[in-house]
Amino acid sequence: MNPVCFMECQPVEEDWLRENFYVVAFPELTIYGHTIDRFTKEKYVEDWPNVAKNRMRGIEWGCWHSNVCPDGEIGSQDIRICVAIPPQIFMAAREKDWPETDFITTPDPISRLYADDGSGQVTEIWNSLDGDF
């Protein structure tokens, strides 16, 4: 069974050798992702140069799934916190409703909010590890 993505960008079997599959494990959430190169080249050809340029900079564009967002959402991740996985592992994770891993790939929280503290300095005011998720 192929994953069903919200934007209909799911890889089909012939993509398994062309697309990349990842797991990103934050302390509070595990995300499984796949690149969407074929989808982008077919539907958003004008965006492909930016996807390729960002990939060279270490930013991976794809569809990212979790138990919080099982249908996925398109976005980017820093490749330094991504662990490459085979498509079979990705598919097994989908069938298990995107389980949490027993390891983390980054100790950082998945989300942070910053604000000007009134003096022109930008400081963190909330993060998903210390606040409500």
Q: Tell me the residue type at 108.
A: D
User: Residue-wise pLDDT tens for the chain (133 aa)?
Assistant: 445 898 999 988 888 889 999 999 999 999 999 999 999 999 999 999 999 999 999 999 999 999 999 999 999 999 999 999 999 999 999 999 999 999 999 999 999 999 998 999 999 999 999 887 5
Global confidence as pTM: 0.88
What does DSSP assign to residue 45?
Answer: G
pLDDT on residue 133 = 52
pLDDT on residue 2 = 46
Task: Outline where DSSP puts E strands in 56-117.
Answer: 59-65, 73-78, 83-85, 112-116
